[in-house]
Structure formats: C-alpha cells, structure tokens
C-alpha cells in the first residue's frame, strides 16, 4: 500500500560525511553467486573480499541508511521485497513488499537530508524507469515520476543530484529526484548492459563509483566517461559503500 508521504523536492545532502577518525576506511558490502550459493561479502575498494556468511536471495540493489553502516537494505532481484541485513551476521529480515506495480527494482539510494530511501524500477519491456520513495520501516512506497529510459544503478551525490546508467546507450544519466526525469550526461566508454553490481558515491572522496564488468570504475560525473581503477575476479551484486573504523576490520581484512 502506498503512503501519503510527499517528498521534498530540494535535497542538499545524501551521504554521511566521512568519519573524523583518520583510521576509518571506505569498504563495501555485496553479494556473490558462487556455485549456486549466495555469499555475503565485505571487500576493500581493490576487490579483496572476505566471506561473512550465506544469504538466501540475489539482491538487485543495496543501500545504507544515513551513517548507520551496521544494517544494509537490499531488494530482491525478481520480486518487490525489501529486506535488511545485519552486516556482521548476515541475517535477512523481511521488511515488506513494495507497491511498485510489478516493475523490477534496479537501484536504491538513501538521502540524508530528508532521511528517505529512493528506489528506481523498470517496467517490462524496459522502456520506462520509475522513481519511488520507500519506507525502510514497512516498505510503503510513494511514486515520484517516470522517464522513458531503461536505467540500472542509482546513486545520489552530496549536492542532491541523482545518477544512473542508461542500459540502451551505456551512458551516464542525471536523475532529478524531485520528478524522476532523466537526462544524458555522456557515454561511459564501456558496454555494461545489465552487468552492474552497484553505483555509489564514495563517502571519503565524493567520487562516483561504478561496479561493473571487470571491476570498479570511477565515473566522471560531468562527461560520463569511466576509468577502471581496480580489477575484480568476481561480480559483486547489490554493492554498497560504507565507512568502517579499522577496529571493525582488525581480523586480518584491513587493506
């Protein structure tokens, strides 16, 4: 059931600031298909991974809420179910089923200034992508608007500008999070199709990171071009970036 919530149009910040602790490190949480199993991982930005445990779904997208990096929110890749995951012990908790009209979720991101989770979802066939606000407490949704594009991946920068990837043109697009409208920024220079594990803004550097074919790319948000900065030997799914203190990673995982 949709909520009666009306979202703010002007958004000024979406990501938690990097920790004042100089020893804090940007890492990521993601999932991986491995011989039929679904492993829940944490990894550094060079792709070195550590298996935390097993989960029972393949996430289409993941996101943290504000600066709480203890719980990741993920959406199922084929149905509109919203879950939370304890990142230390990957227990899945079903929050609810989102009312997104049978569309397929492909990206999710939190807005810090309004304390809201945003979700994009594609219709079938993928000719339209719709933007929603989703409650992390009960999965209630509010439809913002649509764009006649096939978009995968979603992130919002500290200035409140949304970004996604147009599958048809392998191009970076800007997404107005007040209306859902999208505009082309420029070609990525790589073919991505649906091979996107996530799109997120590094809370330490402000860079837009694309996790796609071959590994991690930094995306030029003014032109759309990408630079491969780390090669991975696996495909992370539903990836989200987090700030973690070194004390959390003091079990040999530290980059």
- Residue-wise pLDDT for 58-86, tens only, equals 898 999 998 899 999 999 878 899 999 99
CA angle 175, 180, 184 (to 5 degrees): 35
In a domain, residue 4? The reply is no
In a domain, residue 134? The reply is yes
Q: Determine the longest span between alpha carbons in the chain, in angstroms.
A: 47
In a domain, residue 98? The reply is yes
In a domain, residue 2? The reply is no
Tokens coding 224? 């759309």
CATH code of the domain covering residue 163: 2.120.10.30
* pLDDT 10s digits, 85-139: 999 889 899 999 999 999 999 999 998 778 899 999 999 889 999 999 999 999 9
In a domain, residue 234? The reply is yes
Residue (of 126, 73, 121, 76) closest to 100 by Cα position: 121
* pLDDT 10s digits, 209-245: 999 878 899 999 999 999 999 998 888 889 999 988 6
Q: Give me the number of domains the chain comprises.
A: 1
Strands (E) across the chain are located at: 25-34, 37-44, 49-54, 59-65, 68-76, 81-86, 92-97, 104-111, 116-122, 129-134, 141-147, 151-156, 162-166, 171-175, 182-187, 198-201, 208-212, 215-219, 226-231, 237-244
The confidence score (pLDDT) of residue 247 equals: 54
In a domain, residue 20? The reply is no
Q: Which residues pair with 167 in a beta bridge?
A: none
Would you place residue 195 in the very low, low, confident or very high pLDDT band (cuts 50, 70, 90)? low
Cis peptide bond upstream of 125, omega within 30? yes
The confidence score (pLDDT) of residue 35 equals: 75
In a domain, residue 76? The reply is yes
The confidence score (pLDDT) of residue 121 equals: 95
In a domain, residue 215? The reply is yes
What residue numbers bound the domain in which 201 lies?
A: 25-249
């Amino acid at each position: 059931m949709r909520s009666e919530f009306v979202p703010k149009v002007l958004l000024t910040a979406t990501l938690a600031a990097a920790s004042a602790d100089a020893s804090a490190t940007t890492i990521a949480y993601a999932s991986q298909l491995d011989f039929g199993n679904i492993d829940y991982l944490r990894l550094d930005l060079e792709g070195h991974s550590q298996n935390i445990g097993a989960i029972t779904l393949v996430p289409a997208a993941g996101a943290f809420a504000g600066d709480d990096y203890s719980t990741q929110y993920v959406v199922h890749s084929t149905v509109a179910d919203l879950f939370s995951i304890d990142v230390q012990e990957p227990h899945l908790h079903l929050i609810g089923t989102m009312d997104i009209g049978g569309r397929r979720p492909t990206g999710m991101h939190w807005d810090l200034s309004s304390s809201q989770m945003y979700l994009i979802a594609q219709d079938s066939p993928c000719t339209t992508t719709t933007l929603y606000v989703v409650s992390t407490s009960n999965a209630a949704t509010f439809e913002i608007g649509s764009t006649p594009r096939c978009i995968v991946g979603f992130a919002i920068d500290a200035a409140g500008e949304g970004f996604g990837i147009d599958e048809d043109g392998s191009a970076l697009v800007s997404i107005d999070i007040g209306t859902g409208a999208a505009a082309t920024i420029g070609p990525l220079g790589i073919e991505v199709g649906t091979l996107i594990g996530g799109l997120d803004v590094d809370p330490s550097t402000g860079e837009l990171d694309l996790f796609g074919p071959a590994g991690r790319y930094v995306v030029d948000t003014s032109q759309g071009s990408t630079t491969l900065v780390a090669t991975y030997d696996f495909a992370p799914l539903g990836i989200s970036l987090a700030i973690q203190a070194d004390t959390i990673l003091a079990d040999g995982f530290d980059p």
